[in-house]
Chain A
Amino acid sequence: MKYAYYPGCSLRGTGRAYEESLLAVFRALEVEVEEIDDWNCCGATTYMSVDELTSYALASRNLALAERDHSEIIAPCAACYLVLNKTQHYIRDYPDIKLVVTRALDAIGLKYHDKVRVRHPLDVLLNDVGPKAIAAKVKVPLNGLKIAPYYGCQIVRPYSTFDDQGDPTSMERLLEACGAKTVHYPLKTTCCGGSQKGTLPEVGLDLIHYLLSEAQKNGAEVITTVCPLCQFNLESFQKEAGDRHHPTAVPVLYFSQLLALALGAPADAIGLQRGFVPIGPVFANKEIAYA
């Protein structure tokens, strides 16, 4: 089966490494994807907070476009994943919203039949491919690399059905299949502050610091994320958060970067050179001989 692929705006900007590495993982595991034709912005958390009705119409254009040729969409970005799911729920639950969306789509010659399922790459990799199949294809074992798996909010709450909302474990299972070790990380679903760093910086920096220092304290050599905004916050403001509290130095990668690396993808093809906190020394220390 071929999945519809909905990258979203961040994966074309600050989150480029997420897309590069995820597509490498899909290639290595023979997961076929096709980008949704002429997809638009999902509206994200920002649009939702000014004009919800419009944001449902925006999201539904993508659902309708995907539905023409596919029965499942893969949405890697946390905000996109949430918004597409929420839109489906609200169209089902509220006749007024359904009417607004149906008419808006009609105006651009599209129809939505509620026949497409929105899924996260973690879900697809774990449940459609499976840790065993992944382990069988590992070329560069992660040699016990100690990872703090950080999920953030919007993948697991409120609509996800593939994992626990407070203590998810899908990332652990995938990374452990590649030879990594995961550390105890109770803050794994606590919010990173989202765009708070831009709007109310003091608060944003506090939240970022708690997440980083907890990971470091529990022995993590790297933090893995599933969300472009989480990755950006934890990495780009690590120094600033450290200046405000006490310094930390933990590289922050997308989970897909480590999976792709283990599956034999070359480092510069999966965006490892795009990070700010150098990862090279960590790999050298673990004798991970990546391509």
Chain B
Amino acid sequence: MELKRTVKFEADRDPEFARWISHTVGGERIRHCLQCGLCSGKCPLSLYMDYTPRRLMHLSREGFKEEVLGSSSIWLCTACYACMVNCPKSINVTHLLYALKQRAIEERRYPRRFAIPVMARQFSDMVRGSGRITESWLILRVFLRTSIWRLLGMSGLGLKLLRTGRMPIKRERIQRRAEMEKLLDSVAATRKELAI
């Protein structure tokens, strides 16, 4: 039997994390949270979450980094914005969840072969290379890197999509592909310069 302390101590807090979340773009209003719980009530995924949006707001502004970045809620959020448009204090809850997801990906806090970061990486690589997404190739690449078995399980659906002309094999590309690289390189340079 593993026994763990159930009450959080002041010493568990990470003040840097609390500062970061309240200065993130779109997240400035987190300090105004009343803990009313409307976000959790409106969230269609909260019933699957270990920490509901209301609890995440409070834990993150107090700096409980381990709990927050280890939470399943970060990966369950589908960005449906139900929390955000219903917040009485106009807190950008969805954008805060985005910020937490970015941070969790940066710090590699996810299980091995977890599909969400893999998908994000493949997606951005494809945009850099082609300027557009070809859904069939994206899905193929994600499953090759996460679960071959599930790819095989999807072959029936793949055939149906092919038959109905909804899965073109030809890659979609923009004509002026060099522009993508220049655009993305410029973003990286300005980001470095402004340290944002």
- Chain B residue, CB-CB nearest to A194: B78
* Most chain A beta carbons < 10 A, residue from B48, B80, B121, B180: B80
Q: How far is the CA of A50 from the CA of B79 in the complex (A)?
A: 13
Name the distance in Å between B54's Cβ and chain A's nearest Cβ. 18
| B60 to A: closest C-beta gap in Å | 16
Chain A residues near B164 (CB, 8 Å)? 273-276
Q: How large is the interface on A (under 10, 10 to 19, 20 to 34, 35 or more residues)?
A: 35 or more
Is A71 located at the chain interface by the 8 A CB criterion?
no
Cα-based distance from A53 to B166 in the complex (angstroms): 31
Judge whether A46 and B123 touch: CB under 8 Å. yes
A124 proximity list for chain B (CB < 8 A): none
Closest residue on chain B to residue A86 by CB atoms: B95
In the complex the two chains form, is B196's CB within 8 Å of A53's CB?
yes
B interface, how many residues as a size bin?
Answer: 35 or more
Q: Out of A50, A99, A166, A193, which one reaches B124, CB within 8 Å?
A: A50
Interface of A is mostly: helix
- Find B194's partner among A54, A99, A166 (CB 8 Å cutoff): A99
Chain A contacts for B79, CB-based, 8 A = 45, 48-49, 153-154, 194
**In the complex with contacts A49-B120, A157-B84, A165-B85, A107-B182 CB distance below 8 A:** yes
Of A34-42, A115-123, A168-176, the one touching chain B: A34-42
Which residues in window 150-174 of B have CB below 8 A to A?
157, 160-161, 164-168, 172, 174
- The answer on a CB contact under 8 Å between B132 and A16 is no
Asked, given contacts A39-B174, A194-B78, A199-B75, whether A48 binds B187 with beta carbons under 8 Å apart, the answer is: no
Residue among B117, B142, B196 with the highest chain A CB neighbour number at 10 A: B196
Which of A21-29, A90-98, A138-146 is the interface stretch? A90-98
With contacts A45-B79, A104-B183, A107-B182 known, is A9 near B190, CB below 8 A? no
Residues of B within 8 A of A281 (CB): none
A157–B183 CB distance below 8 A:
no
A46 contacts B120, C-beta separation under 8 Å = yes
Give every chain B residue within 8 A of A127 (Cβ-Cβ). none
Q: CA separation between A106 and B183, bound complex, in Å? A: 9
A130 contacts partner chain B, Cβ-Cβ < 8 Å? no
- Contact: A52 with B98, CB < 8 Å? yes
Q: How far is the CA of A54 from the CA of B125 in the complex (A)?
A: 12
User: Is the Cβ of B182 less than 8 Å from the Cβ of A108?
Assistant: yes
Interface string of B55-77 (1 = CB under 8 A from A): 00000000000000000000110
Measured CA separation A164–B5 after assembly (Å): 46
Determine the chain A residues whose CB is within 8 A of the CB of B161 once the complex forms: 14, 236
Contacts A50-B120, A158-B94 given: A40-B102 contact, CB under 8 Å?
no
For the complex, is A10 an interface residue (Cβ under 8 Å from B)?
Answer: yes
Set B81, B105, B121, B190: member contacting A100, Cβ < 8 A = B190
A-chain residues with CB within 8 Å of residue B136 when the two chains form the complex:
13
Contact across chains for B120 and A157 when beta carbons are under 8 A apart: no
C-alpha spacing A173/B3, complex, angstroms = 59
Cβ distance B123 to chain A, nearest Cβ, rounded Å: 4
Q: How far apart sit A44 and B119, CA to CA, in the bound complex (Å)?
A: 12
Per CB-CB distance, the 6 closest pairs between chain A and chain B, nearest first, are A157-B81, A191-B80, A153-B80, A9-B133, A107-B186, A194-B78
Chain B interface residues (CB < 8 Å from chain A): 25-26, 44-45, 48, 75-76, 78-82, 84-85, 94, 98, 101-102, 105, 115-117, 119-121, 123-124, 127, 131-136, 139, 142, 157, 160-161, 164-168, 172, 174-176, 179-180, 182-187, 189-191, 194, 196
**Which of A's residues lie within 8 Å of B, judged by CB?**
9-10, 12-17, 38-41, 43-54, 57-58, 61, 90, 94, 96-97, 99-100, 103-108, 152-154, 157-158, 165-166, 189-191, 193-196, 198-200, 203, 207, 236, 273-276
